[in-house]
Structure 1
Amino acid sequence: MRLNLSSQIVLNKVPVEFYKPKTTVEYSEISRMEKIHTDIFASMAEGASHVADGIEAGIKAAQHEGKFYVMALGTGSSLSAVYEELIRRYQTKRLSFRNVVIFNAYEYYPLQKNSSIRSINQLKEHFLDHIDIEEQNIFTLDGFVAQESVQDCCRLYEQHIKSFGGFDIALIGIGRSGNIAANEPGSSIQSMTRIILIGNISRKEMEASEKTKETIPPCSLTMGIATLLSAKTVYLTAWGEEKAEIMQKVVENSFTDTLPASFLQTHPDAHVVLDLGAACQLTRIVHPWLVTSCQWTDKMIRSALVWLCQKIGKPILKLTNKDYNENGLSELLALYGSAYNANIKIFNDLQHTITGWPGGKPNADDTYRPERSTPYPKRVIVFSPHPDDDVISMGGTIRRLVQQNHDVHVAYETSGNIAVGDEEVTRFMHFINGFNQLFTDSKDSVITTKYKEIKSFFANKKESDFDTKDVLTIKGLIRRGEARTACTYNQIPLDHVHFLDLPFYESGKIEKLPMTEKDVEIVRALLQKVKPHQIYVAGDLADPHGTHKKCTDAVLAAIDLEKEAGAEWLKDCRIWMYRGAWAEWEIENIEMCVPLSPEELRAKRNSILKHQSQMESAPFLGNDERLFWQRAEDRNRATAKLYDHLGLACYEAMEAFVEYKPL
């Protein structure tokens, strides 16, 4: 069973030669905009294996010479895959860590005696506790040290590093603000180990990484930029589209203290290792015509013309031969003969993505339409990772499908219970208790008992405490009720509303369980029951908490199993990927775009607002201060504005989709 198919989605868009050149000469050509040696891999697993290869070689070379191999190690999700690969190599007796010395890159400060939050604990949990490293070879900064001794502590740490001959390697990840270790923007290239205030963006990332509700201390003791750059070799890893923008700046822009990771440009042996998601904004991936000759596919031509339109501020049909020649696109003139011919081709391609019939228009010529006219009506399943992603991402399209008489099912893959605030539970419990008092004279002992239990739990609940099973159940019920209300508003029958409650989500914590075959079989059972002609699935893999990716992997794995089994229904089914609150599809990749009128956009907003627990009090709004309905409207309006600026059509808003073809 293939449980990680979402990681291969990007492969459908990027030619191998752009991220995996065959020769050094080819690499030097396509990477000419990059100021740090950058290796791009098809998946996180391949990238992690590459980094592990370098570490393994270094460790074995040191063992052969009878020396220590000294490593500076960071923590966080960017490094987890590397640690897992190193652990695997130890467990298969391929690699020993007996001669390895570890220095933890940073520690929180000040730490309380009973605090479970320690950076070194995370490093041990994800790596050190699973290998044969000697305990005396593990060093970390002392987050418990008195304030007057902090400087001495940091100086002593530097001396310890020097006493082992310095670092052979530094292995670090990157934060969304461009920080490495805990070096926040503004850190100097000469900075040594020191105390530093943790920024808001880094704090939220650390909280997510620690998988705890306990408050992160305000400061950190961290290796400085100069400390990290003193390593003979530096590896920086990043995975996923959420890191793409920051990695483009680090790799291709000039180095600056506003982006601490960019100082790696000054290191003689620094290596950036990315998957295709994290590399998707590098020039060789997104604008390859600027660095090499291209095999011009329809999508690449579309991408080039959209880029040219945005660069010079013209709609497609006004581009001239001169515009092409002056901006590195003369190859297209040779291919098409003139700007006019290329313009018309791409204008028509983009125009054909626009449809008011997302389920296909019956009795119509569908040659140039995104969807088939038959069968009509279609059976449709919309898979929603949380009980509001459906309306946030494609609420207008759902209403259009229902109004056009398609048989629409909505499948909510997780309960979404941890994203409900305690005040919502309190409000509902007050109602239930009041109902009990008014209509049964408080005779329902279950309500009375549970009301007292939950009231007492909240009164004594600490910030770091996780909810009880009863509280999580109530929070799940709240989200179910909101989802049903939104579906009723969109005229979807309640027997077409499915709550899958995939087991991986039900950890009761921020950190989820691994997605397994059990999750996949639940999805597969629904597919076998409905036998849909259309499936809509989340392609918004930049969700910062990872739930979307796991949910999408479960759906794709279930489809994969059905394909292997030769399911007849799948031969007449198309799979469309939507994006939600976190990002939008690039226009060159959009294959179906559904326009919304002002009234339809207002109806979409109303359906989002039915999810009251996810409004102002939602715990996981992220760094974006806009509410979910605001994000959705801004995103949909921006898509419509882009189509308008390209000279295609002027709509109030548009929802975009990309087709997924089973691998």
Structure 2
Amino acid sequence: MIRLNLSSQMVLNKVSPVFYRPSSAVERSEITRFEKITTDIFPSIEEGAENIADNIAEEIKHKQREGKYCVLGLGSGSSLTPIFKELIRRYEAGELSFKNVIVFNAYEYFPLTAENHNRSINQLKERFLDFVDIEQQNIFTPDGTIAQDTVQEHCRLYEQRIKSFGGLDAIILGIGRMGNIATNEPGSSQTSTSRLILIDSTSREEMKMSFGSQETVPPCSITMGIQTILSAKKIFLTAWGDEKADIIKETVEGKITDSVPASFLQTHNDAHVIIDLPAASRLTRIRHPWLVASCTWTDKLVRSALVWLCQLTGKPILKLTNKDYNENGLSELLALYGSAYNANIKIFNDLQHTITGWPGGKPDADDTHRPERAKPFPKRVIVFSPHPDDDVISMGGTLRRLVQQGHDVHVAYETSGNIAVGDEEVVRFMHFINGFNQLFDNNEDKVIREKYREIKSFLKNKKEGDIDSLDIRTIKGLIRRGEARTASTFNQIPLDHVHFLDLPFYESGKIEKLPMGEADVNIVRELIAHVEPNQIYVAGDLADPHGTHRKCTDAVFAALDLEKQAGAAWLADCKVWMYRGAWAEWEIENIEMCVPMSPEELLAKRYSILKHQSQMESAPFLGNDERLFWQRSEDRNRGTAKLYDDLGLACYEAMEAFVEYKPL
């Protein structure tokens, strides 16, 4: 059996159910003291989605018994898809009918042409409404095709229509990274009603999954206002995954402010935030549970508490005192360890043992307190890289050191990365090929001349949002392959150890990828079964905003799982290490191996990243962070080193951090 979602079951810090499944109202009141909105945390997305579906189904059935309509407001963001799937399942099982349901779409893009199919209402239909028995005349949405001078009146009538059905019984919404609900951007007023609003750059970045590029996202939206949302009798706000953890904390625990529009839900008497554990990871009861209740102190939790205490007091670990512990809610640790000194030494040594200059293990050394085994040496290593530059961005220093220390290193580039190459790169290479042909083949190669004209014509007539032809995607993939080979050669990796897997799920030609499936897993499995590695490195950066990292990592985990089911003997001597990339770093309590870099090694890492020229200034997916990938990487690596230095450990120029994955 192939398990394709093992990354979602990955637990770095085992959170006691006490902190997300309180057994009584008193216990709940105690652990949620910092929270200003009723917040329910579930171990998985599926359980959270079922909870919302339970509430919506009960509301619909209650209205059916009364012979009334159930009026729902619905967003169309991807975070609502698991809820829609569960509601569809219940309809198909005969458990639920939507005949008495009226739906109001929360927002629509503006302006839209009649030919434009990238509409919010179309997304809502494709993900939900087309699969249930709702009456078409009961579906209402703002109209993005109307003239701008009629928008105000259109919004007034939309509000009036909602009121004519008795108002919204419930509304289900996702949350954007800036705290936007529907498309109420930061700065939206609590008294705002349905209106035309300019979409900011962060929201446009999130919406480009539906449009192919950020440039093709319409500049505005007609959205339900904050007041419209707050007028609903019940509100369900949902978020899944690490990438939403920071904004959930601001929404649930922060002040009410128009800079975080979702924070206005604190004023509603029946608002519910439904999230999974990763999205809850920054809430006080999950991140700093000792501040709300007694804890079962694991090594990781003690480490987390002491790092927090060091940052709070501005002291290194070995200078923390009994007074520091007592004044900041950590007296339990004094009782557990006997004194601040004992706790300090324990965690100092734990962190010290994560630092190693031998990521493949040091031969003929006592490896009792080292993150990696001394034997076997040398090790066979596979570094899996989701895109053709994640290896050097995320672990370029470690990669180079593994090679220099004599290990047999393979790099596997999982996707072509072709959609992240700008058209101007294609033009540049086509000019070179054409010029080369004219100089050395007297312009006689018919294939080159015809392809040159064909591709030149396509690019000339290409419109924003158009999917590249197969030929252009192939050329873009070749560009990235060439850069990856150059970087690998710079890092002294033999080219017969450089593997381009071109996983099929990536080749949709669009930002939104195909589902990852058996074909992808089999490609990965074939490589690992051939190499039989002693070490595997994979991307643990599951907050990658485009989702490719998660799918690539799930493909590796699924392949390992199949090998385990098949009884592969080599697995017993293989460790799997997870790195993070340009988007985030591991929390220090989770770091199990940290590889230091000298200034010279950090510079060499920069050079290897710079070999990927198509991903410099002109790369399409740099996101809202204006730093280039090499700058992000260096800042992150220096930040990790500074954190270790601040805690009183060795002071290095930069460090790359890893967490071990233990297969389920």
TM-score (norm 2): 0.98
Q: C-alpha separation between the residues in 1 aligned to 2:14 and 2:524?
A: 27
Q: Is the 8 A contact 1:35 1:265 kept in 2?
A: yes
Listed as ranges, the matches of 1:491-530 within 5 Å are: 491-530=492-531
Partner SS, residue 588 of structure 1: coil
Partner SS, residue 614 of structure 2: helix
Structure 1 residue identity aligned to 2:359: P
Equivalent residue number for residue 456 of structure 1: 457
Equivalent residue number for residue 418 of structure 2: 417
Q: C-alpha separation between the residues in 1 aligned to 2:12 and 2:164?
A: 46
Is 1:291 paired with 2:281? no
Question: 1:108 deviation in Å?
Answer: 1.6
Question: 1:207 deviation in Å?
Answer: 1.9
Q: Is the 8 A contact 1:11 1:42 kept in 2?
A: no
Q: C-alpha separation between the residues in 1 aligned to 2:134 and 2:213?
A: 27
Question: 1:20 deviation in Å?
Answer: 2.5
Structure 1 residues without counterparts, runs of 5 or longer: none
Question: 1:391 deviation in Å?
Answer: 0.4
Question: 1:11 deviation in Å?
Answer: 5.7
Structure 1 stretch displaced more, 13-22 or 555-564: 13-22
Is 1:245 paired with 2:255? no
Question: 1:98 deviation in Å?
Answer: 0.9
Equivalent residue number for residue 575 of structure 1: 576
Question: 1:564 deviation in Å?
Answer: 1.6
Q: C-alpha separation between the residues in 1 aligned to 2:29 and 2:210?
A: 36
Listed as ranges, the matches of 1:457-606 within 5 Å are: 457-606=458-607
Structure 2 residue identity aligned to 1:476: G
Distance change in 2, residues 1:631/1:214 (3 Å)? closer
Q: Is the 8 A contact 1:213 1:463 kept in 2?
A: no
Q: C-alpha separation between the residues in 2 aligned to 1:209 and 1:44?
A: 22
Q: Is the 8 A contact 1:76 1:209 kept in 2?
A: no
Q: C-alpha separation between the residues in 1 aligned to 2:576 and 2:25?
A: 39
Listed as ranges, the matches of 1:318-337 within 5 Å are: 318-337=319-338
Question: 1:12 deviation in Å?
Answer: 4.7
Q: C-alpha separation between the residues in 2 aligned to 1:201 and 1:601?
A: 31
Q: Is the 8 A contact 2:118 2:210 kept in 1?
A: no
Equivalent residue number for residue 166 of structure 1: 167
Question: 1:123 deviation in Å?
Answer: 1.1
Q: Is the 8 A contact 2:201 2:624 kept in 1?
A: no
Equivalent residue number for residue 138 of structure 1: 139
Q: C-alpha separation between the residues in 2 aligned to 1:596 and 1:27?
A: 46
Question: 1:16 deviation in Å?
Answer: 2.7
Equivalent residue number for residue 356 of structure 1: 357
Listed as ranges, the matches of 1:190-339 within 5 Å are: 190-211=191-212, 215-339=216-340
Partner SS, residue 587 of structure 1: coil
Equivalent residue number for residue 434 of structure 2: 433
Structure 2 residue identity aligned to 1:13: K
Distance change in 2, residues 1:2/1:89 (3 Å)? same
Q: Number of aligned pairs?
A: 663
Runs of 4+ with deviation above 6 angstroms: none
Question: 1:471 deviation in Å?
Answer: 0.3
Identity %: 75
Partner SS, residue 38 of structure 1: strand
Partner SS, residue 568 of structure 2: coil
Q: C-alpha separation between the residues in 2 aligned to 1:25 and 1:576?
A: 41
Question: 1:144 deviation in Å?
Answer: 2.1
Partner SS, residue 342 of structure 1: helix
Structure 1 residue identity aligned to 2:37: I
Q: C-alpha separation between the residues in 2 aligned to 1:133 and 1:44?
A: 25
Structure 1 stretch displaced more, 217-226 or 511-520: 217-226
1:163-219 CA-to-partner distances (Å, cap 9, x unmatched) read 111111010011111110111111111111111121111122122244566622222
Is 1:93 paired with 2:90? no
1:394-415 CA-to-partner distances (Å, cap 9, x unmatched) read 0000011001101101011101
Q: C-alpha separation between the residues in 1 aligned to 2:26 and 2:562?
A: 42
Q: C-alpha separation between the residues in 2 aligned to 1:455 and 1:195?
A: 39
Q: C-alpha separation between the residues in 1 aligned to 2:655 and 2:211?
A: 38
Question: 1:17 deviation in Å?
Answer: 2.4
Q: C-alpha separation between the residues in 1 aligned to 2:546 and 2:285?
A: 29
Is 1:153 paired with 2:161? no
Q: Is the 8 A contact 1:44 1:81 kept in 2?
A: yes
Structure 2 residue identity aligned to 1:311: L
Q: Is the 8 A contact 1:77 1:209 kept in 2?
A: no
Q: C-alpha separation between the residues in 2 aligned to 1:161 and 1:15?
A: 43
1:399-453 CA-to-partner distances (Å, cap 9, x unmatched) read 1100110110101110101000001111111111111111111111111111110
Structure 2 residues without counterparts, runs of 5 or longer: none
Structure 1 stretch displaced more, 149-158 or 398-407: 149-158
Q: C-alpha separation between the residues in 2 aligned to 1:195 and 1:558?
A: 48
Partner SS, residue 88 of structure 1: helix
Q: C-alpha separation between the residues in 2 aligned to 1:560 and 1:175?
A: 34
Question: 1:480 deviation in Å?
Answer: 0.7
Q: C-alpha separation between the residues in 1 aligned to 2:240 and 2:283?
A: 14
Structure 1 stretch displaced more, 108-117 or 254-263: 108-117
Equivalent residue number for residue 179 of structure 1: 180
Q: C-alpha separation between the residues in 2 aligned to 1:54 and 1:517?
A: 35
Structure 1 stretch displaced more, 178-187 or 640-649: 178-187
Q: C-alpha separation between the residues in 2 aligned to 1:502 and 1:91?
A: 33
Q: C-alpha separation between the residues in 1 aligned to 2:566 and 2:194?
A: 58
Equivalent residue number for residue 638 of structure 1: 639
1:603-660 CA-to-partner distances (Å, cap 9, x unmatched) read 0000001111101111000111100000000000000000000000100000000001
Question: 1:13 deviation in Å?
Answer: 3.3
1:552-597 CA-to-partner distances (Å, cap 9, x unmatched) read 0111111111112221111111110000000000001100000000
Structure 1 residue identity aligned to 2:349: N
Question: 1:361 deviation in Å?
Answer: 0.4
Q: C-alpha separation between the residues in 1 aligned to 2:89 and 2:176?
A: 26
1:221-277 CA-to-partner distances (Å, cap 9, x unmatched) read 111111111111100001111111111000001211111100111111111011111
Q: Is the 8 A contact 2:205 2:214 kept in 1?
A: no
Q: C-alpha separation between the residues in 1 aligned to 2:474 and 2:214?
A: 19
Equivalent residue number for residue 118 of structure 2: 117
Equivalent residue number for residue 84 of structure 1: 85
Q: Is the 8 A contact 2:183 2:199 kept in 1?
A: yes
Equivalent residue number for residue 388 of structure 2: 387
Equivalent residue number for residue 73 of structure 2: 72
Q: C-alpha separation between the residues in 1 aligned to 2:631 and 2:442?
A: 44
Q: C-alpha separation between the residues in 2 aligned to 1:406 and 1:365?
A: 19
Q: C-alpha separation between the residues in 1 aligned to 2:552 and 2:70?
A: 40
1:380-405 CA-to-partner distances (Å, cap 9, x unmatched) read 00000000000000000001100110
Structure 1 stretch displaced more, 81-90 or 550-559: 81-90
Q: C-alpha separation between the residues in 1 aligned to 2:20 and 2:378?
A: 43
Q: C-alpha separation between the residues in 2 aligned to 1:21 and 1:518?
A: 42
Q: C-alpha separation between the residues in 1 aligned to 2:299 and 2:509?
A: 46
Equivalent residue number for residue 379 of structure 2: 378
Structure 1 stretch displaced more, 460-469 or 54-63: 54-63
Partner SS, residue 493 of structure 2: coil
Q: C-alpha separation between the residues in 1 aligned to 2:55 and 2:602?
A: 52
Structure 1 residue identity aligned to 2:32: S
TM-score (norm 1): 0.99
Structure 1 residue identity aligned to 2:196: I
Question: 1:77 deviation in Å?
Answer: 1.5
Partner SS, residue 507 of structure 1: coil
Partner SS, residue 117 of structure 1: coil
Q: Is the 8 A contact 1:10 1:276 kept in 2?
A: no
Structure 1 stretch displaced more, 62-71 or 526-535: 62-71
Distance change in 2, residues 1:343/1:383 (3 Å)? same
Q: C-alpha separation between the residues in 1 aligned to 2:635 and 2:149?
A: 50
